[in-house]
Amino acid sequence: MSAPSPAEGEVLLSVREVKKHFAARRGRRGTGETVYAVDGVSFDVHEGETLGLVGESGCGKSTLARVLTGLYRPTSGSIRLRGVELQERGARKRIRGGLQMVFQDPAGSLDPRRKLADSVAEPILGAGTGKSRRERAAQMLERVGLDPALGARYPHQLSGGQQQRACIARALVSDPSLIVLDEALSSLDVSLQAQVVDLLRSLQAQFRGSYVFITHDLATAFELSTRVAIMYLGEIVELVPVEVFQSSTLHPYSKALIDAILVPDPEIQRNRKALLLKGEIPSAAHPPSGCRFHTRCPYAQEICMSDRPALRLYGPDHWAACHFAGELPFSTRRDEPVA
Ligand code: SF4
């Protein structure tokens, strides 16, 4: 497969055939099985872009986030940031700024015994003097809309929204090229989510940084992303610019995710023919043969049970992994694969 990458812009992050497999455990014992959490994922992220990585719980997106940020070592594959292979010893330290991550649970990701300013300055520990680090932390707090005086407080003295802003300040403090946001809005209520989305947009406009925005919520991904990659059971099944995705999706799983978004008009909601997903996502320790989605796909045919569909290019920047992409009843585009 050639690189799933848009035609324009500098490539910042290049991910190729990345796998992360775990030994399955029950309690403290290994079961002898393998969990195929991430299983051959490839994509690029460009300068100034937000790539939304979307899928149900259990699809491998959070494992992938941890692989990208170096918390897990991949089983195989390549991750390059500005052309530098991140698996090489010391590579992550050599790259200025590098990658930072914002987690789902802000309370859990701030040290309860440290003052906020110290937590925010943590990624630049060892750089400059204590005074310069404190000043930098104060600048970052201000940049995310917090009073720098809050730097003297402990996490439990802040609201959830303030804690998440502080986590974003910490991610920004080392001037990273890319921030991975792993369900970073999920613990916030709807009005706070909207505020943080606005904040992330304005920060991106100022710094030209890139985001990988990981979420189970397709509607939120649409708000923030340039392109979306849909993940199912460790694989990317569709990768497409947001403006194309909503009108001409090619994969049945993506179609089901779109149809799960409620339409505000109850009349339209009642009358539309939604593709509903049946059942649960299968275990990543026992992925179905062929197309991994075949056990839930209403269009599955014999070939789907035996042959794994490759991610193929169907139009400008539009990749899909389905034997019948473009031929299914909901398809609005009839492109033949071009790669
Ligand atoms: Fe459904 Fe077959 Fe396409 Fe998989 S390859 S999504 S099972 S039609």
Per-residue pLDDT tens for 134-146? Answer: 899 999 999 898 9
Ligand 1 binding pocket (C-beta < 6 A) is 251-252, 291, 293-294, 297, 299-300, 304, 309, 322-324
Residue-level pLDDT at 179: 93
Q: What residue has token string 């397709």?
A: 218
Q: What is the spatial distance between Cα 20 and Cα 36, in angstroms, rounded to a whole number? A: 7
Q: Both tokens of residue 177?
A: 């090229």
Which atom of ligand 1 sits closest to the CA of residue 309?
Answer: 5
Closest residue to atom 5 of ligand 1, CA basis: 322
Written as tens digits, the pLDDT of the chain (339 aa) is 455 555 456 999 999 999 999 988 877 777 889 999 999 999 999 999 999 999 998 899 999 999 999 999 999 999 999 889 988 887 777 776 678 899 888 888 899 999 999 999 988 887 778 788 889 999 999 989 899 999 999 999 999 889 989 999 999 898 888 999 999 888 778 888 888 898 899 888 887 789 999 999 998 999 999 999 999 999 999 999 999 887 889 999 999 998 887 666 666 666 667 777 888 889 999 999 999 999 999 999 999 999 999 999 998 889 999 999 989 888 776 566 665
What beta strand segments (E) does the chain contain? 11-26, 29-46, 50-54, 76-81, 84-85, 99-102, 178-182, 210-215, 227-232, 235-241, 312-315, 318-320
Amino acid at position 126, single letter:
G
Question: Cβ(124)–Cβ(136) under 8 Å?
Answer: yes
Residue of 253, 301, 307 to test ligand 1 pocket, by largest number of atoms within 8 Å of CB: 301
Residue-level pLDDT at 268: 63
What's the whole-model pTM score? 0.89
- For ligand 1, the distance from its centroid to the CA atom of residue 191, given in whole angstroms, is 38
- For ligand 1, the distance from its centroid to the CA atom of residue 237, given in whole angstroms, is 10
Which atom of ligand 1 sits closest to the CA of residue 253?
Answer: 6
- For ligand 1, the distance from its centroid to the CA atom of residue 305, given in whole angstroms, is 9
- For ligand 1, the distance from its centroid to the CA atom of residue 277, given in whole angstroms, is 13
Q: What residue has token string 């502080």?
A: 166
Q: Both tokens of residue 335?
A: 């492109």
